[in-house]
Amino acid sequence: MKRHGILNSHISKVLTDLGHTDSIVIADAGLPIPAHVPRIDLALTLGVPSFEDVVKAVSDDLVVEHVILASEIQEKNVKTLQYLNQTFSDRDIEFVSHEQFKELTKHAKAVIRTGEATPYANCILKAGVIF
């Protein structure tokens, strides 16, 4: 058994396989997931696990170079936006419309679905490199 990092084997494999600029999505319970993109469904009940818990675990294990958010989060979910700004304070954060965000999910290597039940609690994380 692993001593540190993500224990979920599906998430661990996806993160290990990511190359520079590949992306993954961490999604709330309601984000539509394209049929061809692998879904890692962690949702147990509304709110469990939380978006923040999953972002924390993934960002501790992944070199994140760029973050994409739906611009609607700025008005509809200030608390989550503050968390993301704090978590990724030294990374480039880009805002796109929610419709554009959903289009970008089509290019993700995987979508990790949380139990989050607050609006626009979704992010696209682009992988960086360790050197």
Show binding-site residues for substrate.
28, 98, 120-122
CA 57, chain centre distance (Å): 10
Provide the β-strand partners of residue 64: 127
Q: Which of 10, 20, 66, 107 is catalytic?
A: 20
66 included as an active-site residue: no
> Which residues does the annotation place in the binding site?
28, 98, 120-122
Query: Contact at 8 Å (CB) between 112 and 8?
Result: no
Which residues have a catalytic role annotated? 20
